[in-house]
Amino acid sequence: MDNRDEVLGGLLTLGFDEASCISRVHSHLYRKVSPHRPSPYLISKLRNYEQIHASCGPNTRTYHRNMRKIQLSKDNNATATTCNYLIWTPVNGLGNQIISIAATFLYAILTDRVLLLKFGKDKLALFCEPFLNSTWILPHNSPFWKEIYIQTYQIEKDNASNSKSVLFINLQHSHSDSSHKEKFHCDHLQNLIRKTPLLILRSDQYFVPSLFMNPLFNLEINKMFPEKDTVFHHLGRYLFHPSNEAWELITNYYQAHLAKADELIGLQIRVFNAVSTPQQAIMDLVLSCTLNHKILPKVDLQTSTSSVGKNGSVKAVLVASLYEEYGDSLRRMYQKKPKGSGESIEVYQPSHERKQIFNDGKHNLKAWMEMYLLSLSDVLVTTSLSTFGYVAQGLGNLKPWLLYRIVRNETHFPACEQDFSMEPCYHDPPKHYCEGKPLKDFASSFPSLKECKDFSFGVKLV
Ligand code: GDP
């Protein structure tokens, strides 16, 4: 290991106080070194962004001066400021939020805006500050915290010649007014936004592919990411360092249960509708996937000589699910195995929250801990369409086995398929070209975009 592993091949900058964010310096002890090195251009863009953030971000005189100006002219035509800002506002679960922050950060880099996150108490204990000597959290005394206030800045006409000092754009999936979302990447809307000192953006999506559809952004993204399927991998590892509190949970759990295993299998079982989908149907799907693809051994074969795995080796299975029944059932199955034959399978499930809870710091900590632990897996099985799984696969440089998403009691073959890339899927890409013509086939118009395996309406970069 050399110093470059500690700074992730130059992705991270030196100078941080180590004690304030232990994971930043210790994560390389838990993760395999990424075979994907960040490009020199990406590194230079990150260093440049850090400078902008440090000189224009919260706690600087420039920030206060600019925000005062924006505040005074908020209902008028755009005022000129020395720096421009981008406030990200959350919606949906933590996985959705993490992937959309990464996409928003890329947009901030592409447009030289200072990224500020509207983080409530439920998220303050999750991550370290990513930018040296500054914060990425929107100060709590900012007037732009108020929800009711934000909505009044909706773009009314995307062809307006006079831009405002504050604009709000909603890129949330299934948001009813889709016209701006559809055209976000288009030049005419970007030209309008460019003159606006403060853009407030709401998103739960990984909208990087739509940025890629803009010719100017496309050139830059290509230069920053010669390997296009590493956008989230690099930006995620750059931005999301577990806070000391989260890191303690992650490393304690890892040391207690997972460190001694020869192989770690991550198994993320997301049940989108627990009422309509029986547990047995999901369990059958999980077993069909993991046993057929030899991710886990068949129990009754273990005593025979054809047993997969070496004698005495240990496979740890980390189950992430809201429901404890999945971990329990798998554990019971492997407890039956006669000792001393084949490999032993140990099943762990850190939590079982039973339901998604919003605005709850402890609940979010558990979710973040599990996404991170899953990202340390050697082999990852995730549930189709789940952004929780996307975060783990991107951070971990893993092409997951995607469990088919059953909605009722149906059986499905194949139960899972391996993804072709670790990039998150963009579930809600534009359905029209900027001039309004329907956009039917992404791949023929944008050769770097491919239909997602887990959601045929979605696209991802390849
Ligand atoms: P998605 O809905 O699967 O795309 O993922 P999100 O992370 O956006 O939203 C699901 C939320 O439900 C998570 O953020 C957690 O709050 C909760 N959740 C779902 N599955 C799990 C799990 O396996 N473990 C934990 N701790 N929380 C989960």
Q: Final residue of a domain: which of 219, 239, 259? A: 239
- Within this chain, do residues 226 and 252 fall inside the same structural domain, yes or no? no
Which residue blocks in 384-452 are alpha helix, DSSP H?
Answer: 387-396, 442-445
How far does residue 441's CA lie from ligand 1's centre (Å)?
A: 31
Is residue 162 domain-resident?
yes
Helices (H) and strands (E) in the chain, counts: 18, 12
Is residue 156 domain-resident?
yes
List pLDDT tens digits, range 340-396. Answer: 557 899 999 999 999 999 999 999 999 999 999 999 999 999 999 999 999 999 999
Name the pLDDT band for 1 (thresholds 50, 70, 90).
Answer: very low
pLDDT at 60: 97
Q: Final residue of a domain: which of 239, 255, 284? A: 239
- Within this chain, do residues 228 and 270 fall inside the same structural domain, yes or no? no
Is residue 94 domain-resident?
yes
- For ligand 1, pick from 356, 365, 454 the residue to mutate: most ligand atoms within 8 Å of CB: 356
- Within this chain, do residues 290 and 349 fall inside the same structural domain, yes or no? yes
Name the phi and psi angles at 383, rounded to 5: -95, 130
Name the pLDDT band for 306 (thresholds 50, 70, 90).
Answer: very low
Is residue 183 domain-resident?
yes
User: Quick check: CB of 210 below 6 Å from ligand 1?
Assistant: no
* Residue of 108, 214, 208 whose CA lies nearest to 427: 208
Which H or E element spans position 200? strand 198-202
User: Quick check: CB of 321 below 6 Å from ligand 1?
Assistant: yes
pLDDT at 207: 96
Q: Whose CA is nearest to atom 25 of ligand 1?
A: 367
- Within this chain, do residues 272 and 161 fall inside the same structural domain, yes or no? no
- Within this chain, do residues 171 and 297 fall inside the same structural domain, yes or no? no
User: Quick check: CB of 388 below 6 Å from ligand 1?
Assistant: yes
Is residue 141 domain-resident?
yes
List pLDDT tens digits, range 170-199. Answer: 888 876 656 677 889 999 999 989 999 999
- Within this chain, do residues 272 and 404 fall inside the same structural domain, yes or no? yes
Q: Final residue of a domain: which of 184, 205, 239? A: 239
Token couple for 67: 């925000």
How far does residue 223's CA lie from ligand 1's centre (Å)?
A: 34
How far does residue 94's CA lie from ligand 1's centre (Å)?
A: 7
| Total count of domains within the chain | 2
pLDDT at 160: 60
User: Quick check: CB of 94 below 6 Å from ligand 1?
Assistant: yes
- Within this chain, do residues 214 and 356 fall inside the same structural domain, yes or no? no
List pLDDT tens digits, range 39-88. Answer: 999 999 999 999 999 999 999 999 999 999 999 988 778 888 999 999 99
Q: HSE, CB side, 13 Å, CA atoms: give it for residue 324.
A: 4
* Residue of 372, 418, 415 whose CA lies nearest to 394: 372
Q: Which residues contact 38 (CB under 8 A, 6 or more apart)?
A: 8, 9, 10, 11, 234
CA gap 118, 139 in Å, rounded:
8
Note the ipTM here: 0.99
What atom of ligand 1 comes closest to residue 351's alpha carbon? Answer: 26
How far does residue 356's CA lie from ligand 1's centre (Å)?
A: 6
Is residue 309 domain-resident?
yes
- Within this chain, do residues 294 and 400 fall inside the same structural domain, yes or no? yes
Q: What is the CATH number of the domain that holds 378?
A: 3.40.50.11350
Q: Whose CA is nearest to atom 27 of ligand 1?
A: 367
How far does residue 130's CA lie from ligand 1's centre (Å)?
A: 23
Q: Which domain holds residue 398?
A: 245-427
- Within this chain, do residues 287 and 218 fall inside the same structural domain, yes or no? no
Is residue 188 domain-resident?
yes
Q: Whose CA is nearest to atom 5 of ligand 1?
A: 388
CA gap 451, 204 in Å, rounded:
19
- Within this chain, do residues 249 and 230 fall inside the same structural domain, yes or no? no
Is residue 446 domain-resident?
no
Q: What does the pLDDT average to over 17-23?
A: 96
- Within this chain, do residues 53 and 169 fall inside the same structural domain, yes or no? yes
User: Quick check: CB of 387 below 6 Å from ligand 1?
Assistant: yes
CB atoms within 10 A of CB 75: 10
CA gap 225, 223 in Å, rounded:
6
- Within this chain, do residues 212 and 291 fall inside the same structural domain, yes or no? no
User: Quick check: CB of 262 below 6 Å from ligand 1?
Assistant: no
